[in-house]
């Protein structure tokens, strides 16, 4: 993996939706008064007649999107993940998921790395909320290049509702431009034999750095990028448990109910092994610089490596 620079995943999401709009004339976008902040200005600029501003009214966005989907359109709406996933939960559940409508929901500003906006705007519970809804697909790309592919995949690979999670801050853009994106398929980014780190979203780059740190200590860590939290790729997770004997998950989200919990549901059913979780530990975030917050809450490479070492020692008992 070669880092090309730092780019916000919201930029990848926005450009991906604009490109999808060129191929799918039925694609329409609903704005929630923060169009530039979530990257949908790229679509608005190219297709102004297919962009509709509904203001700060997330529940209305979800309800209108449901109506548009019933009318044959592919609607997209995006706002901060805390509002997209949780303020509009009732409308998403009843109007969108119950009817299995092809509506794409962009959960922006995900995780604690939103930084100065603080606890009220840091989406740390959205994965848990969205993944329990029947018919919902949950995507969490690891960089801007993959976010663009995820946006297109949400349009042309899925028939029902999609929650696509992404962030605001610039993060390393490193995945190969020709790397395929298939909904429901994990990606082996680094092989290893002593333990497996399953990562989603922005955490994947930190996990790759952590794997290098672990290698220096004689621990061989496999790193798998899980860009689709629902449906999970059991075909890559179960063999990893069998072959490495320990699983560590990493997510910029609460450890309860999120990505790690989803993986644990697979592990306990198919091949129980020592397992641990890197994430926010049952607390709200706070205002601060993104890198400082990531370090404080143990979500950077050093925190991941430390958790992996403890897990490896458990495995060795």
pLDDT in tens, 54-76: 999 999 999 999 999 999 999 99
Does domain 6-172 fall under CATH 3.40.50.970? My reply is yes
Task: Give backbone dihedrals phi and psi of 251, rounded to 5 degrees, phi first.
Answer: -150, 150
pLDDT on residue 88: 95
The residues spanned by each domain of the chain are 6-172, 187-316
Average the pLDDT over 24-31 and give the result: 97
Give the pairing type, strands 187-190 and 51-53. unpaired
| Residue 316 scores a pLDDT above 80 | no
Residue 244: pLDDT band with limits 50, 70, 90: very high
Q: What is the end-to-end Cα distance of the chain in Å, rounded?
A: 33
Average the pLDDT over 204-227 and give the result: 98
Domains 6-172 and 187-316 share a fold: yes
Residue 115: pLDDT band with limits 50, 70, 90: confident
Structure tokens at 66: 């449901």
pLDDT on residue 206: 97
Structure tokens at 287: 């205002």
HEC readout, 235-301: HHHHHHHHHHCCEEEEEEEECCCCHHHHHHHHHHHHCCCCEEEEEECCCCCCCCCHHHHHHHCCCCH
Residue 315: pLDDT band with limits 50, 70, 90: confident
Average the pLDDT over 217-227 and give the result: 98
pLDDT in tens, 283-292: 999 999 999 9
Q: What CATH number does domain 187-316 carry, 3.30.70.3450, 3.40.50.920, 3.30.565.10, 3.40.50.300?
A: 3.40.50.920
Structure tokens at 33: 């008064």
The answer to whether 225 and 204 are in contact (CB under 8 A) is: yes
DSSP code of residue 113: G
CA distance 272 to 251: 20
Q: Residue 147: name the closest of 168, 165, 129 by CA.
A: 165
Q: At what angle do helices 203-216 and 301-316 cross, to 10 degrees?
A: 60
Task: For the beta carbon of residue 236, count every other beta carbon within 10 angstroms.
Answer: 17
Task: For the beta carbon of residue 305, count every other beta carbon within 10 angstroms.
Answer: 24
Percent of the chain with pLDDT strictly greater than 90: 96
pLDDT in tens, 162-172: 999 999 999 99
pLDDT on residue 4: 78
pLDDT on residue 238: 98
| Residue 278 scores a pLDDT above 80 | yes
pLDDT on residue 199: 98
Average the pLDDT over 24-32 and give the result: 96
Average the pLDDT over 35-56 and give the result: 95
Q: HSE (CB half, 13 Å, CA atoms) of 312? A: 21
The answer to whether 32 and 91 are in contact (CB under 8 A) is: no
pLDDT on residue 28: 98
The answer to whether 302 and 295 are in contact (CB under 8 A) is: yes
Identify the bridge partners of residue 187 per DSSP, sorted by sequence position.
Answer: 225
Per the prediction, the chain carries an average pLDDT of 96
Residue 272: pLDDT band with limits 50, 70, 90: very high
């Amino acid at each position: 993996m070669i880092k090309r620079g730092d780019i916000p995943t919201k930029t990848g999401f926005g450009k991906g939706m604009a490109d999808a709009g060129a191929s799918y004339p039925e694609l329409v976008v609903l704005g929630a008064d923060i169009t530039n902040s979530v990257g949908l200005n790229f679509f608005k600029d190219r297709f102004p007649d297919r962009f509709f501003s509904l203001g700060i009214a997330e529940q209305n966005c979800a309800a209108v999107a449901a109506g548009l989907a019933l009318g044959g359109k592919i609607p997209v709406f995006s706002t901060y993940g805390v509002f997209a996933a949780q303020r509009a939960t009732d409308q998403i559940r009843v109007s969108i998921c119950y009817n299995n409508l092809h509506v794409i929901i962009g959960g922006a500003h995900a995780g604690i790395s939103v930084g100065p906006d603080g606890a009220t705007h840091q989406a740390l519970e959205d994965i848990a909320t969205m993944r329990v809804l029947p018919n919902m697909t949950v995507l969490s790309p690891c960089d801007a290049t993959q976010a663009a592919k995820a946006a297109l995949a949400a349009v042309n690979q899925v028939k029902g509702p999609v929650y696509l999670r992404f962030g605001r801050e610039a993060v390393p853009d490193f995945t190969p431009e020709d790397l395929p994106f298939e909904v429901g398929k994990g990606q082996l980014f680094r092989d290893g034999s002593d333990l497996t780190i399953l990562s989603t979203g922005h955490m994947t780059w930190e996990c790759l750095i952590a794997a290098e740190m672990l290698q220096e200590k004689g621990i061989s860590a496999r790193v798998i990028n899980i860009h689709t939290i629902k449906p999970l790729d059991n075909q890559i997770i179960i063999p990893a448990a069998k072959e490495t004997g320990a699983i560590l998950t990493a997510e910029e989200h609460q450890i309860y109910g999120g990505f790690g919990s989803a993986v644990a549901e697979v592990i306990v059913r198919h091949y129980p092994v020592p397992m641990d979780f890197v994430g926010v530990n049952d607390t709200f975030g706070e205002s601060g610089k993104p890198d400082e917050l990531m370090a404080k809450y143990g979500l950077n490479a050093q925190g991941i490596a430390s958790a992996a070492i403890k897990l490896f020692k458990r495995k060795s008992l």
